[in-house]
Amino acid sequence: MKTRYLVLALFGVLATAAFAAPPVVTVTYVDPDKFTDVKYDYIPNAKEREHILGELKKYIEERAAKRLPDGSKLDVTVTDVDMAGGFDMPAGASGLWRTRLVKDIYPPRMNLAFKLTGDDGKTVSEGERKLVDLGFLMGNYSMSSDMLRFEKKMLDAWISKEFPGAPKAAANARAPRP
């Protein structure tokens, strides 16, 4: 009889875990036309601006979701994006000749606000952050062609610090058998 109750209880726990809602992460941009680097002055092509913002949005959503408990909700509001490097224009050149120079004096920066709510709808944490990675050139990027590699590294550091829960892939991995 006790075994039957134990099996039913175990089934209930497993069923609850299997049907737990995955975390939801939403990213919104406030007035992106005024962002430091994604505004029309620097990137006149609307398709390229949308691509950059879309890539950052997707990256935040995917990376943060891996560190949040099931059933939680994270809202991130980005108010500025200043990509690594700066734009330089040779003397006498038109705006079409602008070139992004990546130097240590131009670190990536991002301003954002966030609110994390639990599965019960109560606020777990919230705040505003001004992200900056002053050591962004210290990593090994020689083989990376990702134009947002510095911004993604900065976002990874923020997500890991702000949401210290173990990444789900690592938490669910089984230990190797001897």
Query: Cα-flanking dihedrals φ and ψ of residue 125, to 5°?
Result: -160, 155
**Integer Cα distance of 129 and 155 in angstroms:** 11
Identify the DSSP state of 177.
Answer: P
Query: Per-residue pLDDT tens for 127-153?
Result: 999 999 999 888 776 667 888 999 999
Between 174 and 141, the more confident residue is 141
Sign of CA dihedral 111, 127, 120, 172: positive
Look at residue 168 in the predicted model and tell me its pLDDT: 63
Phi-psi region for residue 31, left (φ > 0), alpha (ψ -120 to 50) or beta? left
Q: Is the pTM of this model over 0.85?
A: no
Q: How many CA atoms lie within 13 A of 69 on its CB side?
A: 10
Q: 118 pLDDT exceeds 50? A: yes
Contacts of 111 (CB under 8 A, 6+ apart): 78, 79, 80, 128, 129, 130, 131
Query: Per-residue pLDDT tens for 25-73?
Result: 999 999 998 898 876 566 667 788 888 999 999 999 999 999 999 999 9
Identify the DSSP state of 121.
Answer: S
